[in-house]
Amino acid sequence: MSPNDPALRSFIDVPADCDFPIQNLPYGVFSTAANPKPRAGVAIGDVILDLAVIESAGLLPKISRPGVFGEATLNAFMASGPRTWAGVREAISKLLRHDEATLRDNAELRQNAFVARKDAKLHLPLRVSAFTDFYSSKEHATNAGTMIRGPENALQANWLHIPIAYNSRANTIVVDGTPVRRPLGQIKGPDHPSPIFTACRRLDFELEMAAVVGQPTTMGEYISVDQAQASIFGFVLLNDWSARDIQAWEYVPLGPFMAKAFATTIGAWIVPAEALEPFRVHGPKQDPEPLPYLRQKGPMNYDLNLQVDLTPAGASQATTITRTNFSYMYWSSAQQLAHHTSSGCAMSVGDVLGSGTISGPEKSQRGSMLELSWGGKEPMTLDDGSVRSFLEDGDTVTFRGWCQGKGYRVGFGTAAGTITPAANPPE
């Protein structure tokens, strides 16, 4: 049976609304109080299957570099290539099936191999080689452009021809749950003759997904859209926090810099691209037709539900402020990766490609507070009665994402961060 078969059942109990059924099998890196060494695991229901234990027991296919699941990142496993990814996922799926006795009936092995998710500490699952942030939602680009240049010039002339992006910072990518300090920077008000150096006053989130590159490319060569699709190991939730007021002053003429460099949060679980195959759909019609090197032969987007919750400091309940879908993206992840290599730019295992803010056509589907509050002109009221245009200290933003199957969901867990006060500026 295919690991994606909706009929599959595990001997691990998995409720229908759990993100981690047997059809998912996302990879992460974890440790425990009993064993503080970070190692690789797969989430299934409310537990984590320790892949280092399973590998040591000889229950996984041979990998060219033994012991990869005992390492503190997934990079070595990703480097082993798509055939290995598929073989390992198939072996894990078989071990977890309700009618397979190898793990189910071995009490000692089960005791050593499973860890309750609530008892595990989750780590950044990969060593991020580089981080590129795209700008590929037509709705988001139109909204942002309208606020800056007016509706007649919302999209720049190149936007419908090329996946727009900039190279961002890899060393400030942090895992789900890591606090985010409000950044300092230069801000210049429209009525002020010169800038000041102060704490960001218009702090925002950006709802994104990220493709994780699992195969390298060679400098000087480029790959096709189909080859790019095959090179993507998996996908992860991504929040590219944004300091809107700092960005407004600095972005001319070279684009975002410090306003986008202070923190980016990703989820702890990388969902394999293979697990998302049943949910592939066509994206929006691309008009004009892209140049030949960017043309797609089939559906390259995903029917992936996304949700943003905002919990104010001291509040007992979150307010859901956005519900949207990854399928709205104008440029697919495969097109983004193919374009990234088109100049001969080399890609590395562990490169992270942020999709860009994901917005839909309705106001409730906007993927940033910049859009939801329309630049602060339309503040939103949360369920506890508090009002927000941008994020305040103590606010917690939580992303969730899932593909809905028949009787199961393939989910991503969460990508959450709480805003902490800015540092004291230097004298």
Q: Could you give the CA distance from residue 267 to residue 306 in angstroms, rounded to a whole number?
A: 13
Q: Helix, strand or coil for residue 402? A: strand
Question: Distance of alpha carbon 266 from its chain centroid, rounded?
Answer: 5
Q: What does the pLDDT average to over 231-255?
A: 97
Is 64 a residue whose pLDDT tops 90? no
Class of 131-420 in CATH: alpha beta
Mean model confidence pLDDT for the chain: 97
Can you spell out the DSSP letters for 338-350?
A: HHHHTTS----TT
Query: What tokens appear for 182 in the block?
Result: 């409000």
Greatest Cα-to-Cα distance within the chain, rounded to the nearest angstrom: 74
Residue 129: which region, alpha, beta or left (left: phi > 0; alpha: psi -120 to 50)?
alpha
Task: For tokens 């990854």, name the residue.
Answer: 326
Report the C-alpha gap between 50 and 53 in whole angstroms: 6
DSSP annotation string for 225-238: HHHHHHHEEEEEEE
Instruction: For residue 417, give both structure tokens.
Output: 């961060």
Cα–Cα distance between 238 and 165 in angstroms, integer? 15
* Positive or negative: CA dihedral 174, 177, 179, 185: positive
Confidence check: pLDDT of 328 > 80: yes
pLDDT single digits (tens) 11-22: 999 999 999 999
What integer pLDDT is reported at residue 426 of this predicted model? 74
Total residues belonging to the chain: 427
What the block records as the tokens of 40 is 């690789």
Cα distance from N-terminal residue to C-terminal residue, the chain: 65
Token match 């993100």: residue?
A: 19
More confident residue, 66 or 126: 126
Query: Domain 27-123, CATH 2.30.30.230 — does that match?
Result: yes
Neighbours of 386 (CB within 10 A): 16
CA distance 112 to 128: 30
9 exposed, middle or buried (CB, 10 Å; 0-12, 13-18, 19+)? Answer: middle
Instruction: Quote the pLDDT of residue 65.
Output: 85
427: pLDDT strictly greater than 80: no
Average pLDDT, integer, range 173-196: 95
CA distance 147 to 141: 10
- pLDDT at 71 (0 to 100): 98
Percentage above 70 pLDDT, the chain: 100
Rg of the chain taking only CA atoms, in angstroms: 22
Q: What is the pLDDT of residue 266?
A: 98
Rounded Cα gap, residues 123 and 70, in angstroms: 14
Q: Please give the C-alpha separations between residue 265 and each of 144, 196, 251, 406, in angstroms, as whole numbers.
A: 22, 28, 22, 30
Neighbours of 289 (CB within 10 A): 10
Mean pLDDT, residues 51-63 taken together? 96
Any residues with CB less than 8 A from the CB of 59 and at least 6 apart, and which?
91, 95, 102, 103
Taking the domains of the chain in order of start, what are their residue ranges?
Answer: 27-123, 131-420
Q: What is the pLDDT of residue 116?
A: 98
Q: Shortest CA distance to 239 belongs to which of 84, 160, 393, 355?
A: 355
Q: Two tokens at 184? A: 């300092």
pLDDT band at 253 (very low <50, low <70, confident <90, very high): very high
Among the listed residues 57, 31, 25, 30, the one whose alpha carbon sits nearest the alpha carbon of residue 43: 25
Task: Quote the CA–CA distance of 221 and 39 in Å, as a whole number.
Answer: 34
d(Cα 357, Cα 326) in Å, to the nearest integer?
A: 10
**Residues tagged active-site:** 140
Q: In this predicted structure, what is the pLDDT of residue 8?
A: 97
Q: Does residue 226 surpass a pLDDT of 90?
A: yes
Cis peptide before 379 (omega within 30 of 0): no
DSSP 49-83: EEHHHHHHTT-S---SSTTGGGSSSSHHHHHT-HH
Dihedral sign computed on CA atoms, order 80, 85, 86, 89 = positive
- pLDDT tens-digit series, residues 271-327: 999 999 999 999 999 999 999 999 999 999 999 999 999 999 989 899 999 999 999
Residue 234 — φ and ψ, nearest 5°? -175, -170
Neighbours of 108 (CB within 10 A): 7
pLDDT bracket for residue 402 (50, 70, 90): very high
